Structure 1
């Protein structure tokens, strides 16, 4: 994940840049970060996960969005807004939809790691999503064929709910009965 500019800017300046650019740009703590283009493996994994989650939430009051879709993280407990572009977002509170983006906190976010953005997703975004109250955060690592699921506990801190590498089922705490076989996710 590369910084788009080295100087900080306001969220209004970010929106001006974003309107004129097709580049995937995220806004975090006054800085703009450029997301790398996803690899073929990344896209295949993302599509498989979208299909599985999409089938599960069909008929429920949640909606799935995939990148590129801007999420303006906003809640009353955190003073700043941040703009992120998760690989997959599942949104169960429809009150935050605008024509341009979602403003609020998705219920579940999935990030598929790329070699160049690992620390951004593993550290920066994990802490951001936890602080804003994303109930469940899935980190999918194609380099290790691993899926880690973090869920908010009673103290609003992430704890590892599940983790599988290469084979085995991964489950969701948020969506009861939802499970994915990791072998299906990582095999072409």
Structure 2
């Protein structure tokens, strides 16, 4: 994850850049970050996860969105504008939909790591999602064939709910009964 520019800019400047760019750009605390193009493995994993999550939530109030789709994180307790492009978002509060993006806090976010953006997803976004109140944050690591699930506890801090590497099932605290066999996700 690289900075688009090293100087900070306003959200209006960010939107002007976005209108004239095909790159995946995120806006966090005045800085614009460029997301790397997803690899073939990343795309395969994303598609499998979309299908598994999508089938599970079919028929309930939640809706799944995949990148590129802008999420403008909004929570009355947190200041500033943050616009992120998660790999997968599951949104259960539909009041924040606009024509261009979702404004609010998704219930669940999945980020699939790329070699160039690991620290951004593991540190910056983990803290960002926790502070805004994303109930569950899944980090999928294709380099290690691992999935880590963080869930908000009563103190609004993330705790590791589940982790699996190479084989086994991962569960969700948010969606009771959800199970994911990680071998199915990582096999080509």
Equivalence for 2:144: 144
Equivalence for 2:81: 81
Equivalence for 2:72: 72
5+ residue gaps in structure 2? Answer: none
Deviation, structure 1 residue 152 = 0.1
| Residues 91-102 of structure 1 mapped to structure 2, 5 A cutoff | 91-102=91-102
Q: Distance in 2 between matches of 1:169 and 1:176?
A: 14
- 2:90 pairs with 1:90: yes
Q: Distance in 1 between matches of 2:123 and 2:174?
A: 22
| Residues 172-187 of structure 1 mapped to structure 2, 5 A cutoff | 172-187=172-187
Equivalence for 2:159: 159
TM-score under structure 1 length normalisation: 0.99
Deviation, structure 1 residue 21 = 1.2
- Pairwise CA RMSD of aligned residues? 0.4
Q: Distance in 2 between matches of 1:53 and 1:163?
A: 17
Q: Distance in 2 between matches of 1:128 and 1:120?
A: 10
TM-score under structure 2 length normalisation: 0.99
Aligned residues: 188
Equivalence for 1:33: 33
Deviation, structure 1 residue 20 = 1.4
Secondary structure of residue in 1 paired with 2:80: strand
Deviation, structure 1 residue 81 = 1.7
Deviation, structure 1 residue 108 = 0.1
Secondary structure of residue in 1 paired with 2:185: helix
5+ residue gaps in structure 1? Answer: none
Q: Point out 4+ residue stretches in structure 1 off by more than 6 angstroms.
A: none
Deviation, structure 1 residue 79 = 1.0
Q: Distance in 1 between matches of 2:15 and 2:62?
A: 27
The one-character-per-residue Cα deviations of 1:64-121 (angstroms, maximum 9, x if unpaired) are 0000000000110001120000000000000000010000000000000000000000
| Residues 48-127 of structure 1 mapped to structure 2, 5 A cutoff | 48-127=48-127
